[in-house]
Every structure is written in C-alpha cells, then in structure tokens.
Copies of this chain bind each other. A is one copy, B any other.
Amino acid sequence: MNLGHHREVLVINPDEDDAFAVTPAQWHAALRRAGQPPFTARVLAEAEARDALATAEIVITGPAILARLLALPMPRLRAAFLLAAGVDRLAGQPWPAGVRLLNNRGVHGAKLHDYILWALLALHLRAPALGAAQAARRWQPIFTRAIAGGRLTVVGTGDLGGAAAGAGRTLGMRVTGISRQGRAHPACERVLPSAALDAALAETDALVLACPLTPATRGLLDARRLGLLPAGAHVVNVGRGALLDQAALVAALAAGRLGGAVLDVTDPEPPPPEDPLWSAPNLILTPHVAADDPAIYNDASLDLFFATIDQPAPPNLVDLSLGY
C-alpha cells in the first residue's frame, strides 16, 4: 500500500461537447497501463474547474483553456500537460515561474501521414479539376505521371513535419526538410536551415508547412516567397493558418500560377463565409482534422503524460521562448 504523496492532477475538458474530451475511464485505463503511479485526478469541465485550481499540482488540458486560466491563482501548480502540440495560443502571455509545460508531440504522426499522402496525391492527380469535371458531368481525362521523383519541401521537422516527410518518402519523392538549425532527419534526404528556404522554394514541386507558429514563422509564406515556387507547384498547410498569406495564395491559384493547395488550417478558423478561400480554384479546405485520430488521441496523450511527466529532460518539453 502506497502511503506516499499522491500528486493532484486536474483534467479540464471544454464546456461544450467535444469529440476529444478526456473521460475518467480513459484516465484510469492509462493509469493502469502506466503501473498505477501515485497520481489522483479530477476530470472536470472548464466551468467547474476554477475552484480546483487552488490545489492542482498538474493540469492536463488544451491550449485555449489553459490560456484563459493563466490569470487565475494556481499556487501549487508545477506542470501543465497540453492535449495539443501547438502552443501559439500561449505565446505572449506571462507564464508562471517554476511550472513546466509539456505538449503531446508525437501523438499526431500516423494520422498526419495518411492525410499528407492524400493531400499530395489529390493535388498531383488533379483531384480538384477532376471533381469539377464530374460536377459538370464532363468526361475529361487528365493524365498525370507517377508522383515518385517529385521534389517535396517540408518546413518544420518536428512531429508533424517528420510525418509529412515520411509520407513524401513513402511516395518515392525527394524530400528536403527546412528547420531552424538544419539538423538531419531520417525521413529527409537533406535538411536545410531556415536561411536556405528561399533557394529551396525554387526547387519545390510540393511544399508542406508543418512548423509551429512563432514570431519567426508568422507570414513565412508571403507573396514574395509564393512567387519563388515554380509554376504549377502545390502547397499544403497543416501548421497554422497565419504561416501563409492567404490572400496571396488565392491570387496565385486564381491566376493559375500555382497548381493547387490543401489547407487544413486557416486564419481565422473557420474563415468567414465571404472568404475567397472557400471557393478558390484548385484549393481544398479541410476543417483542422489532419492530425487528430479520435481512436487513439487521448490514450496516446495520457500514455505520453505518464512516460514524460517526471523525466528530467522530456522530449515534449515546450520552450515558450522558442514557441514550441
């Protein structure tokens, strides 16, 4: 019988119905898989959670909720575990001293691999044009070569970028990664530092944005850089909407200079009803679903929580000064 201190965990779900709300059963199953370490948890909706913050030592929740709670007193808090990878919603807010921030990076890879395979192939096979022909009841063959050998550039080589690069490798594409420091990644033929981005864009058939949104990456794919891509190139964004200049992208698609785009993220989300993103030619819009597999999301996140919460240097430790 363990008489030692049980750390108090507060799991905070959205107030509204949510496909990804953590259930008490999921917590207990993960606790069992982890070998019953000494944690006790309460699972509450945000509206009910404020009082419990006074005693919580660890909070598990999403970035939007955490951003709202940061102003409240959490005197015993030592760590927060995010049910998300992106921390851009927490940027620019004061972060409480002595509190570690972990995210669930690594949970999104398998699903994102599927999504990127689909997105790259949909653009390559010209699915938007084929779909428009079907809608018009026109039988209009468009023959395209095999995708193998095409040049894929992935901005970001973390959880998402690594999975995107892996998808490119699965397709036999030649994969260039772009990261802050240009450190090698096993799914990339080469990784270049961000200073080499402009040169890489000129040699890109398909570009995937899969980096965090930080002050350094906001507006990264602006009109000038879109102009560096070869005619007919494809763009996929699974990072954050504000990584790219959406108006410039729509203009390049409308002019036929770019071959197509798949956006899973937009700025804002959702786009307002009158936004030209909804109907730009050869633009496929999906509603922020690329990387989240509901069948495993919470289980894998909680397993990662138990595996990393007490590590001295966990791989999922967030450095808010870097923004990821």
Of the listed stretches A42-50, A125-133, A196-204, chain B binds A125-133
Contacts of A26 in B (CB 8 A): none
User: CB-CB < 8 A to A133: which residues of B?
Assistant: 287
Name the distance in Å between A137's Cβ and chain B's nearest Cβ: 5
The A interface is mostly helix, strand or loop, or mixed, namely loop
Could you tell me the distance between the alpha carbons of A254 and B113 in the complex, rounded to whole angstroms? 31
How far apart sit A289 and B137, CA to CA, in the bound complex (Å)?
A: 16
Evaluate whether A287 and B118 lie within 8 angstroms (CB atoms) in the complex, with A146-B111, A170-B170 already known: no
With beta carbons under 8 angstroms apart, the residue of B117, B122, B139, B293 that contacts A143 is: B293
**CB-CB contacts below 8 Å: A278-301 with B:** 278-279, 284-289, 292-296
Q: In residues 123-177 of chain A, which contact B (Cβ within 8 Å)?
A: 124-125, 127, 130-131, 133-135, 137, 139-148, 170-171
Q: Within the complex, what minimum Cβ distance (angstroms) separates A262 from chain B?
A: 10
Stoichiometry, as copies per complex, reads: 2
Say yes or no: A137-B278 contact (C-beta < 8 A), given A125-B118, A145-B294: yes
* Sample of 5 A–B contacts (CB below 8 Å): A115-B121, A118-B121, A122-B127, A139-B269, A143-B294
Query: Taking beta carbons and an 8 Å cutoff, which residues of A are in contact with B?
Result: 19, 110-111, 113-115, 117-118, 121-122, 124-125, 127, 130-131, 133-135, 137, 139-148, 170-171, 269-271, 273, 278-279, 284-289, 292-296
